């Protein structure tokens, strides 16, 4: 699984909770919460989906590392053994 | 047609889930109704046997109109021949007030406030005439028997309500905005609000939850919102003046805490369905109930009781980043609790200065039902409970 796969999995997880988001215009270095109007309940569901899709167990203390698309990919890559 | 909120004037019957002759039990979902706030499962509050389905699917009907009649299945002697006409058909779900919970009639349907003489009401009922559409000529515009008789032939000639179409999303949003506008305008017009706020140290409560969540799998994790709801639900019984309804000039306290939770809907809109008996639920149970409610609110699968039963409402706008929210009470409730964003702040305690995670909690309350001192006691109780999260 490479970085593009992770990015895709992340977008999949996000669009499952915020289907009306404009994913083409998502700024990768800006907070996802503000851009997609997701709340903590949505975010919890994103974490659950990432767990199911990628098999990564994200501890609560690391949630802040998933704030932006870029930071989330950077966080997840070593954990799913991405090249 | 039940009133599913103070702001509801009519609804579209989408589907019957029961057939004539079918026995129904208390709390059973019998129909689906489309409202300004989405599709709602309508429950019935009297056991019996469905008699006649008066309203056809696809029809828009005003609040208070009979949707179906119910006959009392048990009252009939078993040996008696099946009577074609039930002795006393009671209006079903819809119109029937819930016997054990007087507040269920609370959602203010327009019909309740129509001034009419008893004779006029009786005649209107016999004619199946909607009193809200009858011009009154009596004192204060009250409707007299003559007014009803005058209106009767016109009502009979009136065209049948147009079959409802599935509203386009834009219409729905406009309808929801209109519904919110009506409820909030009524609130500000009629309820003398008073507002209190206090800053609460939630460091201990958050640390406690972090430890709890560390033991839980991803799917079982609890949001801090559930801890806050638990504390609110536990504090409310200490100040019963904040929990209940103001109806017809009097406060009717509620023994149960049915906690309305403000949920923002995608694409705009707001809904505040209730978590029933929130004060008897554990933090984990509240989390499950909250998740379930948010999911169903966003997919439009709420139950009628969830939309009408809330005895008090909590808004957690802190989620969107504001530090304080002083809300507008949802009539006929008498209080709204606002929870702000959790932030790190310098905090002086026991002569020392610390950095603590704090939250600004507020209460907007109806001054007809409570005084500021009591509202203050509620916030004090909320603070106290949040300092001992393990006991929640």
Contact yes or no for B359/B318 (Cβ under 8 A): yes
| Residue A12's CATH number | 1.10.1200.10
Structure tokens at B286: 């509240």
Query: How sure is the predictor about B114, in pLDDT bands with cuts at 50, 70 and 90?
Result: low
H/E run at residue B293: helix B283-299
Tens-place pLDDT, residues B149-174: 777 755 544 444 444 444 556 777 78
A18 and chain B in contact, CB less than 8 A:
yes
- Which three-class secondary structure state does DSSP give residue A21? coil
Together in a domain, B106 and B213 = no
Q: Give me the pLDDT at residue B43, please.
A: 87
Asked if residue B367 belongs to a domain, the reply is yes
Q: What is the model's pTM?
A: 0.70
Nearest CA in chain B to A34: B320
B212 and chain A in contact, CB less than 8 A:
no
Together in a domain, B350 and B239 = yes
Question: Left if phi > 0, otherwise alpha if psi is -120 to 50, otherwise beta: which for B262?
Answer: beta
Contact residues for B314 (Cβ-Cβ < 8 A; gap 6+): B228, B229, B232, B259, B260, B261, B262, B336, B337, B338, B339
Cross-chain Cβ contact B214/A60 below 8 Å: yes
Full domain range(s) for residue B219: 192-391
Cross-chain Cβ contact A39/B219 below 8 Å: no
Full domain range(s) for residue A7: 3-79
Asked if residue B138 belongs to a domain, the reply is no
**Number of domains making up chain A:** 1
What are the angstrom distances between the C-alpha of B90 and each of B45, B86, B87, B272, B330?
Answer: 11, 9, 9, 30, 30
Q: Which residue bears the tokens 């003559």?
A: B146
Tens-place pLDDT, residues B308-353: 899 999 999 877 789 999 999 999 999 999 999 999 999 999 999 9
Structure tokens at A75: 């966080």
Q: Give me the pLDDT at residue B74, please.
A: 53
A39 and chain B in contact, CB less than 8 A:
yes
H/E run at residue B124: helix B118-126
- List, edge to edge, every strand of the sheet that includes B90-91: B23-24, B48-53, B68-71, B90-91
Q: Give me the pLDDT at residue A1, please.
A: 80
What are the angstrom distances between the C-alpha of A43 and each of A64, B190, B331?
Answer: 11, 38, 32
DSSP state letter for A58: -
> Can you tell me the distance from the alpha carbon of B140 to that of B62, in angstroms, rounded to the nearest whole number?
24
Together in a domain, B215 and B326 = yes
Asked if residue B100 belongs to a domain, the reply is yes
Together in a domain, B348 and B226 = yes
In this complex, which of B221, B264, B320 lies closest to A60 when CB atoms are compared?
Answer: B221
**Number of domains making up chain B:** 2
Do the interacting molecules here have an ipTM over 0.90?
no
Tens-place pLDDT, residues B232-261: 999 999 999 999 999 999 999 999 999 999
Together in a domain, B380 and B271 = yes
For chain B positions 307-336, those within 8 Å of chain A (CB to CB) are 319-320
Q: Which of B321, B293, B308 is nearest to B229 (CA)?
A: B293
Structure tokens at B120: 């006029």
In chain B, % of residues over pLDDT 70: 81
A62 and chain B in contact, CB less than 8 A:
no
B chain contacts of residue A41, beta-carbon cutoff 8 Å: 223, 225, 290-291, 294
Together in a domain, B197 and B322 = yes
Tens-place pLDDT, residues B62-95: 888 889 988 876 544 333 333 333 334 444 444 3
Which residues partner with B59 through β-bridges? Answer: B13, B163
DSSP state letter for B366: E
Q: Which of B2-11, B41-50, B127-136 has the highest mean pLDDT?
A: B41-50
Mean pLDDT, chain B, whole residue set: 82
Q: Give B187 to chain A, closest Cα distance, Å.
A: 27
Q: Which of B256, B265, B246 is nearest to B330 (CA)?
A: B246
Question: Left if phi > 0, otherwise alpha if psi is -120 to 50, otherwise beta: which for B248?
Answer: left
More confident residue, B9 or B217: B217
H/E run at residue B198: strand B193-201
Asked if residue B259 belongs to a domain, the reply is yes
A55 and chain B in contact, CB less than 8 A:
no
Cross-chain Cβ contact A44/B319 below 8 Å: no
Q: Give me the pLDDT at residue B123, please.
A: 74
> Can you tell me the distance from the alpha carbon of B83 to that of B32, in angstroms, rounded to the nearest whole number?
29
> Can you tell me the distance from the alpha carbon of B18 to that of B24, in angstroms, rounded to the nearest whole number?
8
B196 and chain A in contact, CB less than 8 A:
no
Contact residues for B91 (Cβ-Cβ < 8 A; gap 6+): B66, B67, B68, B69, B70
Together in a domain, B95 and B198 = no
Together in a domain, B99 and B202 = no
Tens-place pLDDT, residues B347-381: 999 999 999 999 999 999 999 999 999 999 999 99
Q: Give me the pLDDT at residue B113, please.
A: 52
In chain B, % of residues over pLDDT 90: 47
Together in a domain, B341 and B253 = yes
For chain B positions 219-238, those within 8 Å of chain A (CB to CB) are 219, 221, 223-225
| Residue B29's CATH number | 2.40.50.100
Cross-chain Cβ contact A39/B319 below 8 Å: yes
Contact residues for B80 (Cβ-Cβ < 8 A; gap 6+): none
Cross-chain Cβ contact B225/A40 below 8 Å: yes
- Displacement of CA B196 from its chain's centroid (Å): 24
Asked if residue B135 belongs to a domain, the reply is no
Please report the DSSP string for B66-101 in residue order: --EEEE-TTTS-TTS---SS-SSPEE-TTTSPPSS-
Asked if residue B152 belongs to a domain, the reply is no
Buried b / exposed e along B47-64 (16+ C-beta atoms within 10 A): ebbbbebbbeebbbbbbb
What are the angstrom distances between the C-alpha of A14 and each of A23, A37, A44, A52?
Answer: 9, 11, 11, 13
B373 and chain A in contact, CB less than 8 A:
no
Q: Which of B277, B246, B256 is nearest to B369 (CA)?
A: B246
Tens-place pLDDT, residues A16-69: 888 888 898 999 999 998 888 888 888 999 999 999 989 898 988 899 899 999
Nearest CA in chain A to B218: A48
For chain B positions 243-272, those within 8 Å of chain A (CB to CB) are 264, 266-267
- Among the residue ranges A24-28, B35-39, B57-61, the one predicted with the least confidence is B35-39
The alpha-helical segments, DSSP class H, found in B135-260 are 145-157, 169-190, 203-214, 224-235
Cross-chain Cβ contact B210/A60 below 8 Å: yes
- Among the residue ranges B103-117, B222-236, B250-264, B265-279, the one predicted with the least confidence is B103-117
- Displacement of CA B228 from its chain's centroid (Å): 20
DSSP state letter for B133: G
Asked if residue B306 belongs to a domain, the reply is yes
> Can you tell me the distance from the alpha carbon of B381 to that of B373, in angstroms, rounded to the nearest whole number?
12
> Can you tell me the distance from the alpha carbon of B218 to that of B222, in angstroms, rounded to the nearest whole number?
9
> Can you tell me the distance from the alpha carbon of A4 to that of A73, in angstroms, rounded to the nearest whole number?
9
Asked if residue B147 belongs to a domain, the reply is no
Together in a domain, B378 and B234 = yes
Q: Give B292 to chain A, closest Cα distance, Å.
A: 11
């Amino acid at each position: 699984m490479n970085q593009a796969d992770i990015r895709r999995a992340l977008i999949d997880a996000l669009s499952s909770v915020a289907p009306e988001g404009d994913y083409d215009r998502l700024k990768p270095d800006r907070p996802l919460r503000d851009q997609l109007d997701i709340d903590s309940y949505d975010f919890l569901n994103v974490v659950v989906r990432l767990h199911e899709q990628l098999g990564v167990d994200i501890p609560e203390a690391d949630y802040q590392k998933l704030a932006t698309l870029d930071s989330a990919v950077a966080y997840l890559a070593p954990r799913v053994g991405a090249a | 047609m039940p009133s599913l909120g103070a702001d509801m004037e009519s609804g579209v019957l989408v589907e019957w889930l029961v057939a004539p002759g079918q026995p129904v039990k208390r709390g059973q979902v019998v129909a689906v109704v489309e409202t300004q706030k989405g599709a709602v499962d309508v429950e019935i509050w009297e056991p019996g046997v469905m008699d006649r389905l008066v309203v056809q699917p696809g029809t828009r009907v005003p609040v208070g109109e009979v949707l179906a009649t119910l006959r009392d299945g048990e009252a009939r002697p078993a040996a008696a021949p099946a009577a074609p006409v039930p002795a006393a058909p009671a209006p079903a779900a819809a119109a029937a007030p819930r016997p054990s919970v007087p507040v269920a009639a609370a959602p203010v349907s327009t019909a309740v406030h129509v001034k009419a003489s008893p004779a006029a009401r009786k005649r209107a009922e016999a004619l199946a005439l909607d009193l809200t559409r009858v011009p009154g000529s009596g004192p204060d515009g009250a409707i007299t028997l003559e007014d009803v008789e005058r209106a009767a032939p016109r009502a009979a000639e009136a065209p049948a309500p147009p079959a409802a179409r599935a509203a386009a999303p834009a219409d729905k949003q406009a309808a929801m905005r209109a519904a919110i506008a009506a409820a909030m305008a009524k609130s500000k017009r009629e309820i003398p609000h008073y507002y209190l706020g206090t800053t609460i140290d939630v460091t201990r409560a958050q640390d406690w939850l972090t430890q709890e969540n560390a033991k839980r799998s991803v799917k079982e994790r609890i949001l801090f919102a559930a801890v806050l709801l638990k504390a609110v639900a536990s504090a409310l019984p200490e100040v019963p003046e904040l929990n209940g309804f103001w109806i017809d000039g009097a406060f009717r306290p509620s023994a149960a805490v049915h906690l309305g939770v403000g949920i923002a809907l995608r694409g705009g809109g707001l809904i505040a369905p209730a978590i029933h008996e929130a004060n008897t639920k554990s933090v984990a149970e509240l989390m499950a109930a909250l998740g379930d409610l948010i999911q169903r609110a966003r997919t439009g699968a709420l139950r009628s009781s969830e939309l009408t039963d809330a005895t008090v409402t909590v808004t957690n706008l802190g989620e969107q980043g504001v530090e304080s929210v002083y809300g507008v009470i949802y009539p006929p409730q008498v209080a709204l609790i606002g929870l702000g964003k959790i932030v790190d702040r310098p905090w002086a305690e026991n002569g020392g200065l610390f950095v603590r995670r704090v939250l600004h909690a507020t209460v907007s309350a109806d001054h007809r039902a409570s005084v500021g001192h009591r509202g203050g006691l509620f916030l004090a109780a909320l603070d106290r409970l949040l300092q001992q999260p393990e006991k929640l």
